[in-house]
Structures are given as C-alpha cells and as structure tokens.
Structure 1
Amino acid sequence: MSPPPPSADGMRLAVCAEMVFLDLPMEERVRRIANAGFDVELWDSRRHDVARLAATGAVFSSMTGYSTGSLIDPETAPDVLRTAAELIPSALELGVSRMVIHPAELIDGKAAKPGYRATGLMWLTGVRTLAKLGDLGAEHGVVFALENLNTIVDHPGIPLARAKDTLAMVEAAAHPNVKMMLDLYHAQIGEGNLIDLLGRALPHVGEIQVADVPGRCEPGTGEINYPNIAQALTAAGYRGTVGMEAWAASGSELALDRFREAFTVRRTVSGAAAASSTVQ
C-alpha cells in the first residue's frame, strides 16, 4: 500500500507517468510515483498491461477516456462514445475516477482534422456528446473530464479548445458525471489570468493539471507562480486533485520534489497577530 499523497489542505497530488522516469518501464514509473506519495495519471491505457499496473497498488487518478473520434464532429462523435465504452473496463480495473476527453481527435498531440473556425453545429454536438458520456459515466461510476488545450504551441487546429469554451460546454451539458479537466499550462498560453479562471471554473472542475510555461516542465521552471495558485486553491476550499502533467527539466526525482514544494501551502501569521503573541 502506497503512503497517502502529499496535500495542501486536503488537495491530492498526482503525477503523469507518461512524462517522468522516461528511462524506466511504465510499471516501474508507476511504482516510483506511488512510493513518493503521489497518485498516478495515465494517457492511453491500451499501450500498457493494465493488470500489471493495477497490481502495483498505486492510486490512479485519471486516464484518457476515448481513442478515436471528435467530440464536436457529428460524423465521428459516435466513435468517441463507442471507444469510451470500450475503455471503461480498464478504468474500472485501475480504479480510475476520471476519464479525460478532448474537444477533438488527437494523433500524436495534433488535430486529426485541423479546423480553425468554431460553428454552432460543433458546439451543439459537443454538448450533446458530453451529456451522453455523462450517462455512460453514471452507469459505471466514473466522471468524464473535458480538458482545455492551447492552440498556439501544442495543439493548433482545434476549435472550442480554450478554457472558456470547454467550461461553457461542461456547464451546458449540466451532467454530474461531466466535469472539466482544467489544464493551467494550456490556459496560461491561451488565456492567462489563471486565478480569476480558477474562481469561475472550480464549481465544474474534476481535476486540475499543471506544468510551467514555457517548456511544459515542472513548477518552478517558468513564469507561473504556482505557490500563489496553491494559496488561491486553498482559500477557495478546493479538495480535489492537482496533477503534474509535465516533463522533468532537472531529473524526475527533483521534478516531483519541486511539484510537492509548490503545492505545500504554509500558513503565515500576520504581523499584528505575531506582535501580539509576543506580549506576555
């Protein structure tokens, strides 16, 4: 049994096993992450021996929840639903809580069918497909989490990918088994104003993912003030999962340490309170 994950006032911390300890087999990566006290995120479970990963005893927080099709394309949205159903058994075997979906089909991170203009039909298709995914999730006790993406650096050609669009689709679907996977790395590149975004999105968030900008490496390597983000989440009463979906800039062990440090919230005593405490 792995130790409980480090927390910032109740937040669980997870690490994406696809992006750290890259010289090790996946099973050993999962063990390393779990032994360090973190939950584990996965991408495509079809690449791995699910039974062996489950046998590690790690807690798996999320995995990719479909394998083909586009949420917003009327022609291929049924493929999203079909492949999501096919992946449910793996999610249940791993004990995954959240199955991640995207606004479009991705092949090696790129849009399978690039598009640069959102339409009303795309919007309606996305909302309707999300609602159907929610019904599937309710049947099996999992949540489908729609992830926002950036279209500037990593994922060009994906309409309705920004955080404001994915949040609006999740709100419109209005299903308890449909949430948002709020990726702050992508949001910083595409929109910024992260703490305000958190305030608007948290009621609909299933999980938060983090990496720094530029470079998509661990917190502390770029421009995002993640300790301030952690403070804002604590102040808002967030008790969910924060997952590091980031490459390790300075070695995987150090990356995990930096992530833990960024989300360890330390309470400070105000000057007035501190002064009064010294009076005997």
Structure 2
Amino acid sequence: MSAQLAVCAEMVFLDLPLIDRVKRLDEAGFEIELWDIRDKDLPALAATGARFGSMTGYSEGSLCDPGSAHEVVRTAKELIPAARELGINRLVVHPAQLIDGQAATPRFRATGDMWLTAARTLEELGRIGEEHQVTFMLENLNTILDHPGIPLGRAKDTMSLVKAVGHPNVKMMLDLYYAQIGEGNLIELVRSALPHIGEIQVADVPGRCEPGTGEINYLAVAQALADLDYSGPIGMEAYASADSNAAIAAFAQAFEPLARPVAR
C-alpha cells in the first residue's frame, strides 16, 4: 500500500508567484493543495497540467451555527465548478468560520445545538459530495495557539462528528500539527481515526515547518501508517524553515515508505 504526497502551495516558495510554485511542486512529483481559490486564476492553474488534490470547500458561514450553517452549504455548492475545473475532489471545511485564521465568532464551549447543527450540515454536504463526486473533509484545529475560540475543533470532536454522520463523502482532514498541540498521542490517534480519514496533513511543532524541524517523530508516524496499510493522501501544510526545496525533500524523505509518484 502507498500514499500520494501533496504540498500546500500557499506555504512554500513564497518568493515566487503562485503559478510558479505550482509548477515547481508538480515537477518535484507532488500533488498540489490550495486554500481559498476565489481570487486565483483558475484557467492558468489548470493549464499547468499539475494534479490538484484539495482546496477550501466553503467561503462563508459556520458549520455549527444554526444561524449561518446554510451559508456553508450555499457557498460549498458555489465552489463545486471551480473544484471541477482543477480536478479537485477533496474539499476542506472547518468546525466554525475562520476569518484570516481567527474565529469569526469566538465560542469557548460547545453546546448541544452546535453538535446537532454541525452533524446536520455535514449530512447535507455529504449529499452534495455524492452528487458531484467530491469528498468534504472536516479539519481538526487547535484552540491553544492558532485558532482560539473555535468550538468542536479537537480531533476527537471532528472524528465523533464524522462517525455520527456516517456518509462516505464526509471524512476527516486529520491535521497532526494541530493534534500535537492540542491532544498529542498521534500514533494512537491515527489508529483510532483510520476508518474516517480522508487525508492526513503534517507540519512539525513548534514552528509549523517541515518534518524534522520540531518534536514530532514523523518517521515513527510514517511507519505506523505503513503498518496500518494507509493509502490515502498525506499533505505537507507547513512553511519551509529555510529553503523550500530542502523542506519538500525532508517531507518526502520522512514519508518515503508510503510515497508513490503522481499519476499521469
């Protein structure tokens, strides 16, 4: 079993225009991941011939807010054509709305209404995903450092929601950087979450740079994934600590037991 390695083009080769970053990553054999695509030149990106894997799958609303969850669904539908243009089939959503990385409406306790609203919204996204052959992935976050005030952000919360929905087009985006900061015990987390994972994202702690720059033993994580026969995508959503070429090479080396080339 082997996994596809992907790199977020928003975080490496930052001295280059986005199109050139995409070309560099494609030439290096990686799938490409993007954040908000509404301000991007989609025809130019498509013309690179790169393989795109994921993007942010909504632009407004909060998954767990009864007053704005419908906006998540509405904007998710609006983004489907852009995903199709780039050949993207993994769309990322968050437990609550982020604006410039911060909670739009900070909430420090999750209520029953939040749980029910999030589950029902994910069920609707699952139906949309099934219709358009895409998977919506609920990403865990951390509230200690990066995203204070985000309810239902822990990996155990996102896993519980995905399990409760039980739809094949709703999965977890299991971000191990966030999980290490907020929860730890990463290998056991991967084992328990395995049936519900749509993608694993990685960065090291502290600093959110490439594997090998912090405290996470990504070689051990990679071996655990190999032992579990994990064959899904693994994305580096991390900044380069110095040189971007060295950073993506370190990422590839850490997950070499699981790597396979981009399909052409």
Task: Give the shorter-chain TM-score range.
Answer: over 0.9
| Match of residue 114 from structure 2 | 122
Match status 1:63 vs 2:55 = yes
**TM-score, reference length from structure 1:** 0.91
SS at structure 1 position matched to 2:122? helix
Report Cα offsets for 1:205-235 as digits up to 9, x if no partner: 0000000000000000000000110000010
For residue 22 of structure 1, report the CA deviation from its aligned partner: 0.5
AA aligned opposite 2:81: P
Whole-Å Cα distance in 1 between the matches of residues 196 and 47 of structure 2?
A: 32
Match status 1:245 vs 2:237 = yes
Whole-Å Cα distance in 1 between the matches of residues 45 and 32 of structure 2?
A: 10
Q: Is contact 1:227–1:265 with CA below 8 Å preserved after alignment?
A: no
SS at structure 2 position matched to 1:197? helix
1:97-112 mapped onto 2 (5 Å cutoff): 97-112=89-104
SS at structure 2 position matched to 1:237? coil
Match status 1:94 vs 2:86 = yes
Higher radius of gyration, 1 or 2: 1
Match status 1:10 vs 2:2 = yes
SS at structure 2 position matched to 1:265? helix
Q: Which residue of the other structure, out of 228, 231, 249, is the alignment partner of 2:223?
A: 231
SS at structure 2 position matched to 1:61? strand
| Match of residue 261 from structure 2 | none
SS at structure 2 position matched to 1:249? coil
Moved over 4 A (4+): none
For residue 250 of structure 1, report the CA deviation from its aligned partner: 1.6
Match status 1:203 vs 2:195 = yes
Please provide the CA RMSD for this pair. Answer: 0.8
Whole-Å Cα distance in 2 between the matches of residues 229 and 61 of structure 1?
A: 22
AA aligned opposite 1:242: I
Provide the identity percentage: 66
SS at structure 1 position matched to 2:208? coil
For residue 265 of structure 1, report the CA deviation from its aligned partner: 2.3
For residue 51 of structure 1, report the CA deviation from its aligned partner: 1.2
Q: Which residue of the other structure, out of 170, 182, 186, is the alignment partner of 1:194?
A: 186
AA aligned opposite 1:206: G
Query: Gaps (5+ residues) in structure 2?
Result: 259-264
Q: Is contact 1:99–1:143 with CA below 8 Å preserved after alignment?
A: yes
SS at structure 2 position matched to 1:13? strand
